[in-house]
Amino acid sequence: MATGDVGYTLDQLRGFVAVAEESHFGRAAERLRMTQPPLSRQVQRLERAVGFELFLRTQRGAELTPAGRIFLEEARRLLSSADTAPLRARRVAAGTAGTIRIGFTAVSALTVLGRWISVAAEELPGVDLVLSEMVTHAQLDALLAGEIEVGLVRQVPRSDLLDSRLVARDSLILAAPRDHVLTRLDRTPTMEDIAEHDVVTYSPSEAWYFYELVVAAFQQAHLKPRYVQHISQVHTVLSVVDAGLGVALVPSSASALNLSNLVFLDIADLPPDTVELHAVWRHRHGNPALDALLRRV
């Protein structure tokens, strides 16, 4: 059979499926609440469109050809997609379905990110979260490139392209090996106490936010500590301290990473809540699911 029409309609597919399931044009027409001749014409047009016979017409009714049996599976799939497409589209438009790509720093995974995941699972079960661990500057690059929709970052640049919200504050605390001399003081350690020992700190390029916080804290106390390492991630800093290579100033939320040889101590002469975490997203992102999540967290 030569192909005549260039396509077929959903009504033609529904007619074909009804005939296939009833194995009879008359019964299928009754099921569809139409007369038999229009239904027969629908199926004939469909056969011309696909380029092969779907049925063998017999005295007892209509029997699917081998090609017709294969096409029946596809027809049902197409009709199911057509029936559910408006609902899926409405959910995406309302933000209750879709995908949100989230960038996050390692420590934010211990606090804010966990809450976001819980809220999405409970209130937005149709939204998929795609998570990528990145340092702050990599997140900002990814945001502007459209590779993620939202980031959890330490510092927000001035940009008309980005919106932001402060989502958490931490204090700087001391991480030290369990048997370190600073853990055996009969008082809370000071910055001067800390400056007498090797200090593991942060990379000025990869972790500039924490690098500047630590440098400023010592400069304000008029101290010059011995920096022994410059590392990009907080959890790696903790691993180095845990190995006994020095002490470090870390955000208080990092104390959730309770390694076997670590002790966390307050610092007597540092103000609290100096470490900020921001959610940042593009001003015109076009993702209703992101708006729905941000309204809930």
Residues near 106 by Cβ (< 8 Å), separated by ≥ 6? 133, 233, 234, 235
Scanning the structure block, which residue is given the tokens 């030290």?
176
Alpha-carbon Rg for the chain in angstroms = 32
Sequential pLDDT tens for the chain (297 residues):
433 444 888 889 989 999 999 999 989 899 889 999 999 999 999 999 999 999 998 888 899 999 999 999 989 888 888 776 666 666 556 566 789 999 998 888 888 999 999 999 999 998 999 999 998 889 999 999 999 999 999 988 888 899 999 999 999 999 999 999 999 999 999 999 999 999 999 999 889 999 999 999 999 999 999 999 999 899 999 999 999 999 999 999 999 887 889 999 999 999 999 999 999 999 988 898 999 999 999
The answer to whether 147 and 202 are in contact (CB under 8 A) is no
The answer to whether 3 and 49 are in contact (CB under 8 A) is yes
**pTM, full prediction:** 0.68
CA distances from 196 to 4, 203, 226, 270 (A): 88, 21, 8, 17
Is 148 strand, coil or helix? Answer: coil
Q: What is the pLDDT of residue 118?
A: 94
Q: Buried b / exposed e across 230-260, counting CB within 10 Å, b at 16+?
A: ebbbbbbbbbbbbeeebbbbbbbbbbebeee
* 288: nearest Cα among 146, 89, 110: 89
Q: CA dihedral in degrees (75, 80, 81, 87; nearest 10)?
A: 160
What is the rounded end-to-end Cα distance, in angstroms, of the chain?
Answer: 60
> How far is the C-alpha of 151 from the C-alpha of 236, rounded, in Å?
21
Q: What is the pLDDT of residue 86?
A: 66
Q: Buried b / exposed e across 204-226, counting CB within 10 Å, b at 16+?
A: eebbbbbbebbeebbeebeeebe
| Maximal C-alpha separation, the chain | 101
